[in-house]
Amino acid sequence: QKEVEQNSGPLSVPEGAIASLNCTYSDRGSQSFFWYRQYSGKSPELIMSIYSNGDKEDGRFTAQLNKASQYVSLLIRDSQPSDSATYLCAVTPLSSGYNKLIFGAGTRLAVHP
Amino acid sequence: GAVVSQHPSRVICKSGTSVKIECRSLDFQATTMFWYRQFPKQSLMLMATSNEGSKATYEQGVEKDKFLINHASLTLSTLTVTSAHPEDSSFYICSARDEFGSGTQLSVL
């Protein structure tokens, strides 16, 4: 079982719609959770971090964490073509002493006009 | 602006040569930095944890003698790919805290 799992996509949504990206993780003791956006050929850029159960909103982005179910999601409201990118979920697992960021394979999002 | 600076952004080299990549934290001290490698259409794979003033910690399957890491100061870590071969061609990215450098695209001919 992979430590962090994401659906590779592509997830295709129309402009203006809500994009929902999901991520599950295997280490129940994981402490910190991150969503990164990566454009082709570029390094990842941090969008959201979340540490406790519930929702965290920042502009058009909402991160949701459910530690009991071991999943974290990212909602993008009013999706724009510029949101088209690969979204990477990352966690700091207990097994690494919370020192390492372990990434999922990423979900490719395509927002079409 | 970027808080983690990485250079060079792109390197093309001949097989057998060594390549050094620098990663700097610009406005904070980083006792720990991380080096990742990413092949096309794949996720980031952690290669090693760079520890200031001590030896790097390598992930399983990563050759420490091939990927030399030096973290001599609190703001600089370097990764040297020794005797590079075409299969080492990849996108190398460093990070400190939760920020990433801009990445280095290495192409070995």
pLDDT in tens, B77-103: 999 999 999 999 999 999 998 889 999
Q: What percent of chain B has pLDDT over 90?
A: 79
- Predicted confidence at residue B1, as pLDDT, reads 59
Nearest to A73 by CA among A97, A43, A48: A48
With CB atoms and an 8 Å threshold, state whether A88 touches B32: no
Q: Does A93 touch chain B (CB under 8 A)?
A: no
Residues B97, A67, A11, A110: is their CA dihedral positive or negative? negative
Helices of type H across chain A: none
Q: Which residues, in sequence order, are CB contacts of A59 under 8 Å at separation 6+?
A: none
C-beta separation of B23 from B5 below 8 A? yes
CA atoms within 13 A on the CB side of B36: 24
With CB atoms and an 8 Å threshold, state whether B103 touches A106: no
- Predicted confidence at residue A1, as pLDDT, reads 67
Query: Which residue, among B10, B36, B44, B49, would best test binding to A if mutated, counting the most A CBs under 10 Å from its CB?
Result: B44
With CB atoms and an 8 Å threshold, state whether A49 touches B98: yes
Q: What percent of chain B has pLDDT over 70?
A: 98
